[in-house]
Each structure stands twice: as structure tokens, then as C-alpha cells.
Amino acid sequence: MKAMGRLLPTPTLSLVLLITWLLLVRSIAPGQLILGAVLAVVIPLLTRGFWEPLPQVRHPIKLARFVLVVLYDIVKANVQVSLLILSPKREPHPGFVEYPLSVKDPLTITLLANTITMTPGTVSTNVRLDRSSLLIHVLDMHDEQALVREIQERYERPLKEIFEC
Amino acid sequence: MNLYLLAEAVVAFLLVAGGIFAFTGSLGMLQFKDFFMRLHGPTKGTTLGIGCTLIASMLYFTVTQGEFHVQELLITLFLFITAPVTGHMLAKTGLHMHLRFTTGTRGSVPEFRDEDVGQSRVARPAKARHPWRSRRQKRRGRLPR
């Protein structure tokens, strides 16, 4: 069991790699399975130095719900931004917002920043290295407080609950 | 036959919608006035554009060839991973180069402290470890470095 742990330090990553490989070659022939398994073992071992210890997913169901919410928001974001681009009369009011971070884990911050970039009218531009705040550029800003509150309610709280950090 | 007709309609709709979204995303680059606003077009408009096209492709090949095509999911996955990261990198570069904003930009960019720019006040791991050699040395009783 201990040898197993040494060979597969991150089982989830290995599984994802194996599935990715099988999808890439589009076959489940024995040869590809073996090659995929070898890659799934070797790649995590080679890249081990880069990984910070990752937090555990505590609530898979909440994670699934979060993904669905984000997907819905991505569609909404696309429609909103497209409308804004296509209607030249409406002048957008861009602005910067400094968003106070309450999560501290690198992976969670990364997920939050990526989510913010993918969703309506916001692009995350800078994380302070002490992880205290995230600078966000907003395409069309009306109410700064409402925006911060929405991000907190919609994205940060679920992420915090999922990883419990 | 009816199923094919339905699938065809859905594929056509997705392709057209995808094309429109990709186009408006690119149009945003032309329309918006400063660098940071232009960033919003490619990070969002194109995501859904490509997403729609990929779903259409998945559906088309699944229906016509009678077997599941899920390869496109990988493209979506890679896109969703890379698009926000490149957006973030570009925005950060823009901040550091002090690019100008359009008049009327609300809020202000805070002055950067050394730590934020990455001029190393932050403890870094002293030396990158070699993937396998360090362990062997440790086992021999010799600690690396």
C-alpha cells in the first residue's frame, strides 16, 4: 500500500490523465490502455515538484452544482457582452474593483479568478502576492458593492464550502 | 428520418450561433476603446462560439457515424483552462506596462508594492528539486544542497 502511494501520489490526476489519453486516441484497445496507464504513472511523478498539496474535494454534489451555475453564467456572459458589442449606442462604463479575498488556498484562488474571467463582464487582472485581494476589471460597472456581493455569494462561498479551507 | 432532420436543425442552429458569437467576440476588439475592455471580447465571446461549434461537431459525427464522439470535450476542457489564464496574463502585463484607460474608467489601480510585482520579497523554495535524483541522494544519507 505504501509502495502504491509512492507510485501514485495523486490518484485523481492519474485517472484524469488516463481518461484524457483514451479520449485523445479514441480507442480502448489493450495497447492504448497500457500506454495510457504508463503515462498516468510517469507524468505525475515527473511533475511532482510543481504541485502544491491540493485540497480535497469535500462535497462532490456542490461541485457539480457550482459547475452548472458557472456554465449557465458563461452563456449569460457571452450574450451580455455580445449585446454590448453589437449596440454601439450604449456606452459601457468600465472600471476597476479591488475584491477582498477570503479564501487563501492557491488552487481555490485560481479557480475563483478563472471563474471571474469567464463570467459576465469581468476579467481578473491581478492577485496580490499576499493573497489578500484580487483586482478585477469590469466592462460595465453600475454598482461596485453589488458586484462584490454577487461574486461572494455566487462563486466564493460555494468554492469555500467545496474545499473547506 | 425524423431524427436526422431534428439533428440537422440543431447542428445548423449551433453552427450559426457559434459563428455569430465568435464574430462578435472579434468585433469587440475593434469596438472597445482601451486594452482592458478589448480583453473582454476574446475571453468571453469566443468561448461560447467555439463551444457551440464543438457541440455541433460532436452531435453531427455521433449521429452520422452512429458512434459516440467525445473528443471535442477535450478541446472544450483545454479551452476553458487556457482562455482565462491567457486573459489574466495579458491583463496583468497591461497593468505593469501602465497602459492608459479610457476616460471615465471608474476605480483606480492601486500602486504596486514590490511583493505584488514579484520583485521577490517573498520566500521562494531555495532550489528546484530534481525529480528523481534528490530522493536517491536522500536515501544514501546525503541531503540535497
A11 domain-assigned: yes
In the prediction, which pLDDT does B13 show?
92
Cα(B26)–Cα(B31) distance, rounded to whole angstroms? 9
Q: Is residue B116 part of a domain?
A: no
In CATH, what number is assigned to the domain containing residue A101? 3.30.70
Asked if the structure places residue B118 within a domain, the reply is no
Q: Give the minimum alpha-carbon distance from B112 to chain A in angstroms, rounded to a whole number.
A: 9
CATH number at residue B34: 1.10.287
* Chain B residues close to A114, C-beta within 8 Å: 80-81, 84-85, 88
Which residues, 6+ apart, have CB-to-CB distance to B8 below 8 Å? none
B113 belongs to a structural domain:
no
Contact residues, chain A, for B27 at CB < 8 Å? 85-86
Contact B109 A96 (CB under 8 A): yes
Min Cα distance B86 → chain A (Å) is 10
| Closest-CA residue of chain A to B69 | A26
Q: Could you tell me which residues are beta bridge partners of residue A133?
A: A100
* pLDDT beyond 80 at B139: no
B140 found inside a domain: no
* pLDDT value at A94 more than 90: no
A44 shares a domain with A13:
yes
Range of the domain at B64: 2-101
B129 within a domain of the structure (yes/no): no
Ranked by mean pLDDT, which of A22-36, A135-149, B123-137 comes out on top? Answer: A22-36
Judge whether A55 lies within some domain. Answer: no
Percent of chain A with pLDDT over 90: 0
Q: Report the SS3 class of residue A138.
A: strand
Average pLDDT, chain A: 78
φ and ψ of A55, to 5 deg: -75, 150
A7 in a domain, yes or no? yes
| 3-class SS of residue B125 | coil
Total structural domains in chain B?
A: 1
Region of poorest pLDDT, from A39-53, A125-139, A142-156: A125-139
In chain B, what percentage of residues exceed pLDDT 70? 66
What does the alpha-carbon distance between residue A109 and residue A9 come to, in Å, rounded to a whole number?
Answer: 23
Chain B residues with beta carbon closer than 8 angstroms to that of A81: 24-25, 28, 40-41, 44-45
Mean local confidence (pLDDT), A35-53: 81
Mean pLDDT of chain B: 74
pLDDT of res. A64: 85
Q: What is the pLDDT of residue B52?
A: 87
Q: pLDDT digits over B47-106, tens only?
A: 788 888 888 988 888 888 877 777 888 888 888 788 888 888 888 777 777 767 666 666
Residue B145 lies in a domain: no
Task: Give the domain extent around A9.
Answer: 2-50
Mark whether A93 and A20 lie in a shared domain.
Answer: no
**Number of structural domains chain A divides into:** 2
